[in-house]
Amino acid sequence: MSVIKQVTAEQSSELLVGHVQSLDPAEDNKIFDLLYEYETVQLVQGAFSRKVQFAGTHRAALYLEEYGSGSHNFGHLRGNRLACCLPISDTGANWWGSSLSVGQMPIAHSGRTIHATYNAGQRHIVMILDREWCAEWLEIGSLGHAVEINTIFDYNKSPFLQVDPERIRRWTYRLCSLLMQVSLGNDETRKAMFEKELLTAARSLLEPGETESLNNSASKHVVEAALTLMDVSEPNVLNIALLCANLNVSRRTMELAFRTIIGKSPLQFFTDRRLCRAYIALRKSDQESASVTDIALSYGFTELGRFADRYRKIFGELPSETLRQKSKKFTPAVEI
């Protein structure tokens, strides 16, 4: 039985995470037995190795892999799944007989044969989604563009998708960070966050490239929906990816909407809003019974040094000074 099959049951409703290192190509063929049916061929005698860090549910999987020597992979995805590969360190890898050009992302689906040759040092992160589940979410475009999965993952089309290089770079970083976050636990909240962040990544990476502007009406709709949802969910915890997934819009659409209506990115706006709320809490608190640390943490600021620095830039004083100077009047410049 494969390593991942031992920890990831086909019908599991849990988020399961782990890591594995393989030094034997025969064993390596079994590692992803649940997700793929393929063969790993060692290209350098006595030097094979592959490290894999993974997380997954029955609907979505994410894994980061690094090759210690040359190898060739041949096979296909099991079930009815989609896969996107985001290169991190491309050492001259070869997919379907071709190397990657700038902005190209290898994609695959069940039914398409995968051919890939990797050299030592190759690193990439791979996102795999259940096709029907993904299509159900992404083909709804009530606020942003609908993503036609069947059009993108067409057997007769190129297995390479052209994506803005900066978008690939950002999502590579975010998905690697997601793997680190979910390794800290596997409760229902983390499972929901994991699945929705992968849907957000898929929408942002796969959506049509023409999403470069939104009119005021569409932008206002997105911003108002985001504000409402943030307030009724966890107003003091900022997670833009979850917000995008719940509103079924791409990160790009969210960014454009906020910059059109507010003139700031959603990250900047919600951070400033939480800072204003922390300011009000500090002004109202009794110095004897409250602390800056407790109030900062209650508004989602875990890095106290960065919190104090950003706070001083906006309000002209340190949080501790606000707590001590309750008589000082100040009107926050950021709408809350």
Kindly report, residue by residue over 269-284, the tens digit of the pLDDT. Answer: 888 888 888 888 888 8
**CA distance linking residue 327 with residue 175, whole number of Å:** 46
**CA distance linking residue 295 with residue 273, whole number of Å:** 14
Candidates 1.10.287.10, 3.40.50.2300, 2.40.37.10, 1.10.10.60; correct CATH number of 269-324?
1.10.10.60
**CA distance linking residue 118 with residue 51, whole number of Å:** 13
**CA distance linking residue 60 with residue 132, whole number of Å:** 11
* Burial (Cβ within 10 Å: 0-12, 13-18, ≥19) of residue 119: middle
Chain segment 169-206, per-residue pLDDT in tens: 889 998 998 898 888 766 777 888 899 889 888 988 88
Report the pLDDT value the prediction gives residue 233, as an integer from 0 to 100.
66
83: left (phi over 0), alpha (psi -120 to 50) or beta: beta
Report the pLDDT value the prediction gives residue 64, as an integer from 0 to 100.
94
64: left (phi over 0), alpha (psi -120 to 50) or beta: beta
**CA distance linking residue 138 with residue 118, whole number of Å:** 31
Chain segment 27-52, per-residue pLDDT in tens: 766 767 788 888 877 777 767 788 89
Percentage of the residues of the chain whose pLDDT score is greater than 90: 15
Residue 266 and residue 252 in contact, taking contact as beta carbons nearer than 8 Å: no
The confidence band for 97, taking pLDDT boundaries of 50, 70 and 90, is confident
> Residue 40: CB partners within 8 Å, gap ≥ 6?
25, 28, 29, 50, 71, 72, 73
Mean pLDDT (the chain, rounded): 81
Per-domain boundaries in the chain: 3-182, 269-324
Between residues 1 and 107, the one the model is more confident about: 107
Chain segment 55-87, per-residue pLDDT in tens: 999 999 999 999 888 888 888 899 999 999 999
Q: Is 255 helix (H, G, I), strand (E, B) or coil?
A: helix
Q: Are strands 36-42 and 123-130 parallel, antiparallel or unpaired?
A: unpaired
Residue 93 tokens, joined: 């890898």
**CA distance linking residue 95 with residue 100, whole number of Å:** 8
Nearest CA among 289, 78, 55 for reference residue 175: 55
Q: 3-182, superfamily in CATH?
A: Jelly Rolls (2.60.120.10)
How many CB atoms lie under 10 A from the CB of residue 27? 15
Report the pLDDT value the prediction gives residue 334, as an integer from 0 to 100.
52
Residue 137 tokens, joined: 């979410």
> Given a cut of 60, is residue 121 above it in pLDDT?
yes
Within the chain, residue ranges assigned H as helices are 3-7, 25-31, 131-138, 149-152, 165-182, 188-206, 216-232, 240-247, 251-261, 266-284, 292-298, 304-315, 319-324
